[in-house]
Structure 1
Amino acid sequence: MTLFVGRKKELQFLEDEYAQDRASLVILYGRRRIGKTTLIKQFIQEKNAFYFVATEESERENRRNFQHAVSEFTQTPLLKKDVLLEWDEIFSVLKEHQPESRKIIAIDEFQYLGKARASFPSIFQKIWDQMLAESSVMVILCGSLVGMMVEQTLTYSSPLYGRRTGQIRLDQIGYQDYGLFFKHPELINTIEYYAVTGGVPKYIELFSPDPDIFQAMEKHILSRQSFLFEEPVFLLEKEFGETGTYFSLIKTIAAGNRKLGKIASALGLNQSGLTKYLKTLQELDLIVREVPVTERNPDKSKKGLYRITDNFISFWFKFVHPYRSYLEIENTEFVIKKIKDQFRSSHVSFVYEDICRQWLMQKGLGDSPCIQMVQAGRWWNKDVEIDLVGFTENQEYAVLGECKYTAGPVDADIYWQLMEKTKSVHLPDTSQKHYAFFSQSGFTQAMMNLAECQDNVHLMTIRG
């Protein structure tokens, strides 16, 4: 059985919708492997629920499969006969089954129905308006192809626009819940595991724990027979049908080309021609465009940098794809050596910054006063970079911080460096400044003495 971890807010939202005294139509979408089906199955446990998975077959075959599934659910043997009914006729049987009780109808991979028959969203809109909207039913339409799901169910041009009573875009599991996937998380370095798998449940389940993370990589990623060896290629093919430009874009960003101009130059393309591809990758939650957290108009900022948001995809393009020729002849020893040389300094250290930002947004700083962030991110200009800058509402408090994933404890020189960097950040005069230092190896006595003397200096140790 697939392990269910986290998703408390999403599960509570579904429960609240289920408790409503009206028909509900919830759109659940997100990229592949993210745990949508697991969330649905967790939610419908011990409820009166009909669950159906659409396939990439023809519309007729999907309708036949749907009819047989309804027959099983409603115990209506006539539906099993060779006569194939229309969609509204099948839904009518489903609706009338146990009409006195609240019923859930969950259709997974919904986008395949619209892909097989372009008019299907219109067909379902008519079924909803004329049959389900006034009934005691909760409908969940779930899909993986993000662009297609948005087009079929959420955009203004969609026939279903305005019908939904709620939507959930399922994102990756946060680091705070990561240890829940393992029986004995204390036996592994969860930070380094998270740096490889990210918060994608399927990747976490496939990347089995091993005290030596490099042995785990060899078994579950670098082996040509392993599921994860070709995963990024499969993911892009499924989402886009072709990998060409998208693959090249991610590869270029992984190589350190983060500005739009540098990406275009590396690919030999015009910047304007890349915009739609970059936007699509952002919608899929594979990359993000970051600007310094203090920018007032992020969309118009010229300081935008692109970053891969999926830790596994980033890891794969840094450490697997460049050495495919070695892995194809099973020379993993050479590749593992390359990974060991760079893994912590060029990969884990950057993921650690994200973990610290997650921690700050979730827990805030201090008890008196309680400093709860509403925004946190990186800050940089031409000469200076700060790992973490966060604000409370109305920027009453500003938190500036550094995140260090190092072998030894963090010394006081980091504090003085941050004080110097802070001079470059333009903050409101009314903002009360606090300074946060995150370390996975603790702090020197000098640093602890310095923090003890100042109420606005905070030391946090986050270990894997």
Structure 2
Amino acid sequence: MIGNRFVGREQELGLFDAQWRAAGPRFLVLYGRRRVGKTSLISTWLERSGARALYWVASPTSAAAQLRSFSQVVYEFANPNVPFGSDFTYSTWEQAWREAANLTRAGRLFLVIDEFTYLLEVTPGIAGQLQNFWDQVLSKTDLLLCLSGSHLGMMKHEFLSYQAPLYGRATMQIHLQPLPFGLTRDYFPSYSAVDRVAIYAIFGGIPAYWERIDPNQSVSQNIKTQLLTPNNLMQAEPALLLHDFVSDLHNYAAILTAIANGARTPKEIADLTGLPNVQAPKYLGVLAEAGFVERRVSVTAPTASRTGRHHITDPYLRFYFRFLATRQHQFALKIQDQALAEISRHLIDFIGTYTWEELCREWMLRAGARGVLPFMPDEVGSAWNRTVQVDVVGNNTMHKTLILGESKWTLEAASRKVMTELVEEKADRVVPEQGSWRVFFVGFSRSGWTDAAQAYAAELQDRPPAGRNWTCAGMRLLDLTQVDDDLTAWSE
């Protein structure tokens, strides 16, 4: 939700429609990181659908206070003109849910319990109680129950784990993801594609962050006003996000800072943070469960490969721990220009290393699915070994097809050499040794390609090269304008 506009999420709204129209009881689980727009999605669907609904959001308070709050919402819905005291509460959650179930006698009801993880934290066994009551009572009513939560690890543990009390009860589960880059043109029509990539590199696809951006200001001005002032909400955001999962923020912040500055393996992270080698994997596991860090392996290597690398998946956390975390003393003294100059100096490399590569991978995955590329990859990522790295790679092991891509975020047009090195030097080293492969090459360049590079792509069509165990299926070169146009069209 940006201002009064709600853009995107049409697929998710359609899933809500389907669950509401379906006959009989339905159980919907909605989860995703904070600020991703879960509450806005629910409220927008309620406004559009006009469904008869009871909405309650849990808060970080005591178990008794939560039960009292929910009880009063249910009572007021059932008895809109009957006063009740501020201390009114049902005696148990079962009694409160039974009263909510009785509301379905008057027609289908959409019951929303938002931030359900706050209940899980202070009411042991609440998931098991709800499972029993769903099986015995709620599953026999005309109810659409929606549980929403931001604690990804807890939601997965209580709903997706085979041992979870509520496992198998949900008729629909939605993991709400950040908005795709392709929607930035609609949100920020006055910004150029370069500016929108920069915005996405800093704030990711989090709607609540986009709301803070003033499109009448430049990207640099927004960085200065939104991020480089003391005591602003964005400065406190990383601690708030981490606090949902951990209590000792210092070690986790140190690990994220290390990864943001190039450490990729547990040993590199331990060396940079000073943590014992045996402790780093434990911290990394918690961050991975929270969805903030992931371990990636080369797409041409086995999943169990020991050459995995750790990356921060959340763009704002990545930006914060790269540029802001160590500058708090400057912000406290309102010394902003020095920090802004440092960010401006390194932002091109930062975007090229992270965001542009990620957008190129997204383009490859979407293009393959739409038949724009000759192959449809099963997996898109990077490929590397001891001698070479290719940053944008699509792999289909069943069909023995590979898409190898180079991505450049430079102010000048990319040269012929970029693609000749990929074809004539890197391909032989990265194509798997087993099998006979067909390889298609793609070049992504912010500023386009030189005439010589374009000529090389044409040459490959007439005289396809071949390697040790692969043959060339062609080449395509793209610039930022084309990638932006395609991702915009494919995200609508």
Q: TM bucket by the smaller chain?
A: over 0.9
Rounded to whole Å, the distance in 2 between the matches of 1:185 and 1:16 is 36
* Correspondence for 1:209 among 212, 215, 238: 215
Structure 2 runs not aligned, ≥5 long: 462-473, 485-492
* Correspondence for 1:406 among 406, 410, 414: 410
- Summarize the alignment of residues 101-140 of structure 1 with structure 2, pairs less than 5 Å apart: 101-140=107-146
Q: 1:275 to 1:307 in 2, by over 3 A?
A: same
Q: Which residue of 1 aligns with 2:466?
A: none
Structure 1 residue 4 corresponds to structure 2 residue 9: no
Displacement of 1:98 in angstroms is 4.6
* Correspondence for 1:426 among 431, 437, 444: 431
Q: 1:83 to 1:259 in 2, by over 3 A?
A: closer
Q: 1:18 to 1:49 in 2, by over 3 A?
A: same
Structure 1 residue 272 corresponds to structure 2 residue 278: yes
- Summarize the alignment of residues 63-78 of structure 1 with structure 2, pairs less than 5 Å apart: 63-77=67-81
Q: 1:365 to 1:436 in 2, by over 3 A?
A: farther
Displacement of 1:57 in angstroms is 1.6
Amino acid at match of 2:12: E
Displacement of 1:360 in angstroms is 1.0
> Is the CA contact 1:233–1:243 (under 8 Å) kept in the aligned structure 2?
yes
* Correspondence for 2:17 among 12, 15, 29: 15
Q: How many residues align?
A: 462
Residues 269-290 of structure 1 show CA distances to partners (whole Å, capped at 9, x for unaligned) of 3333222321221122211111
* Correspondence for 2:238 among 221, 232, 251: 232
Displacement of 1:385 in angstroms is 1.1
Rounded to whole Å, the distance in 1 between the matches of 2:41 and 2:397 is 32
> Is the CA contact 1:121–1:153 (under 8 Å) kept in the aligned structure 2?
no
What's the secondary structure of 1:272's corresponding residue?
A: coil
Which stretch of structure 1 is more off in the superposition, 401-410 or 84-93? 84-93
* Correspondence for 1:460 among 459, 478, 481: 478
> Is the CA contact 2:111–2:143 (under 8 Å) kept in the aligned structure 1?
yes
TM-score by length of 1: 0.93
- Summarize the alignment of residues 7-86 of structure 1 with structure 2, pairs less than 5 Å apart: 7-45=9-47, 46-77=50-81, 80-81=84-85, 83-85=88-90, 86=92
Rounded to whole Å, the distance in 2 between the matches of 1:197 and 1:55 is 26
- Summarize the alignment of residues 287-302 of structure 1 with structure 2, pairs less than 5 Å apart: 287-296=293-302, 298=303, 300-302=304-306
Displacement of 1:149 in angstroms is 2.3
Displacement of 1:355 in angstroms is 0.5
Q: 1:53 to 1:366 in 2, by over 3 A?
A: closer
Displacement of 1:50 in angstroms is 1.3
Displacement of 1:175 in angstroms is 1.5
- Summarize the alignment of residues 324-403 of structure 1 with structure 2, pairs less than 5 Å apart: 324-364=328-368, 370-392=374-396, 394-403=398-407
What's the secondary structure of 1:206's corresponding residue?
A: coil
Rounded to whole Å, the distance in 2 between the matches of 1:196 and 1:369 is 30
Residues 172-217 of structure 1 show CA distances to partners (whole Å, capped at 9, x for unaligned) of 2221223332243448711111111111222222233355322110
Structure 1 runs not aligned, ≥5 long: none
- Summarize the alignment of residues 304-315 of structure 1 with structure 2, pairs less than 5 Å apart: 304-315=308-319
Displacement of 1:370 in angstroms is 4.4
State the percentage of identical aligned residues. Answer: 28
* Correspondence for 1:321 among 322, 325, 336: 325
Residues 83-119 of structure 1 show CA distances to partners (whole Å, capped at 9, x for unaligned) of 5213233322322225353321110011111222212
Amino acid at match of 1:117: T
Rounded to whole Å, the distance in 2 between the matches of 1:283 and 1:80 is 43
Rounded to whole Å, the distance in 2 between the matches of 1:131 and 1:291 is 46
Amino acid at match of 1:60: A
Rounded to whole Å, the distance in 2 between the matches of 1:335 and 1:369 is 42
Q: Which residue of 2 aligns with 1:449?
A: 455
Amino acid at match of 1:353: E
Structure 1 residue 258 corresponds to structure 2 residue 264: yes
Displacement of 1:164 in angstroms is 1.8
> Is the CA contact 1:192–1:348 (under 8 Å) kept in the aligned structure 2?
no
Q: 1:288 to 1:327 in 2, by over 3 A?
A: same
> Is the CA contact 1:208–1:220 (under 8 Å) kept in the aligned structure 2?
no
TM-score by length of 2: 0.88
Displacement of 1:79 in angstroms is 7.6
Amino acid at match of 1:304: G
